[in-house]
Amino acid sequence: MTELNLILLGPPGAGKGTQGERLTASEPLEYIVTGEILRAAVREASELGLQAKGYMDEGQLVPDELVIGLILERVRAEQATDGFLLDGFPRNIAQGEALDGALSQLGRDLNGVLLIEVPDEEIVRRLSGRRVSSSGRIYHVEFDPPKVAGKDDVDGTDLIQRDDDKPDTIRKRLAVYHEQTAPLIGYYEERGLLHRFDGTAPADEVEAHVRKTISTLRLEDAV
Ligand code: AP5
Domains along the chain with CATH numbers: 4-117+181-222 (3.40.50.300)
Question: Can you give the pLDDT at residue 3?
Answer: 87
CB-ligand 1 contact for 140 (6 Å cutoff): yes
Catalytic residue among 22, 74, 151, 162: 162
Told to judge if 162 belongs to the known catalytic residues of this protein, a careful annotator would answer yes
Catalytic residue among 53, 126, 130, 131: 130
Told to judge if 147 belongs to the known catalytic residues of this protein, a careful annotator would answer no
Residue 223 predicted with pLDDT over 70: no
CB-ligand 1 contact for 18 (6 Å cutoff): yes
Segment 60-64 shows an average pLDDT of 97
CB-ligand 1 contact for 137 (6 Å cutoff): no
**Is position 60 annotated in a ligand binding site?**
yes
Q: Which residues of 146-177 are buried (b: 16+ CB within 10 A; e: fewer)?
A: beeeebbeeeeeebeebebbeeebbebbbebb
Q: pLDDT digits over 7-22, tens only?
A: 999 999 999 999 999 9
Q: pLDDT digits over 79-101, tens only?
A: 657 899 999 999 999 999 999 99
> Residue 78's pLDDT band (boundaries 50, 70, 90)?
confident
Q: pLDDT digits over 162-219, tens only?
A: 989 988 899 999 999 999 999 999 999 999 999 999 999 999 999 999 999 999 998 8
Q: What is the DSSP letter of 158?
A: B
First to last CA, the chain: 12
In terms of Cβ atoms closer than 10 Å to its own Cβ (0-12, 13-18, 19+), residue 86 is buried
CB-ligand 1 contact for 92 (6 Å cutoff): no
**Strand residue runs (E) in the chain:** 6-9, 30-33, 84-87, 112-117, 130-132, 138-140, 194-198
Q: Choose one of 132, 140, 178, 207 to mutate for the ligand 1 pocket test, by most ligand atoms within 8 angstroms of C-beta.
A: 140
More confident of the two residues 52 and 135: 52
Q: What is the largest CA-CA distance in the chain?
A: 48
Closest ligand 1 atom number to CA of residue 91: 34
Q: pLDDT digits over 212-222, tens only?
A: 999 999 888 77
Told to judge if 16 belongs to the known catalytic residues of this protein, a careful annotator would answer yes
**Gyration radius (Cα) of the chain, Å:** 17
Told to judge if 196 belongs to the known catalytic residues of this protein, a careful annotator would answer no
Q: pLDDT digits over 94-134, tens only?
A: 999 999 999 999 999 999 999 999 999 999 999 999 999 98
Mean pLDDT of the chain: 93
CA of 165 to the centre of ligand 1 (A): 10
Q: What is the DSSP letter of 7?
A: E
Q: Choose one of 9, 74, 126 to mutate for the ligand 1 pocket test, by most ligand atoms within 8 angstroms of C-beta.
A: 126
Question: Can you give the pLDDT at residue 45?
Answer: 94
Told to judge if 74 belongs to the known catalytic residues of this protein, a careful annotator would answer no
Residue 1 predicted with pLDDT over 60: no
CA of 222 to the centre of ligand 1 (A): 32
Query: For residue 54, what are the contacts with CB-CB under 8 A and spacing of at least 6?
Result: none
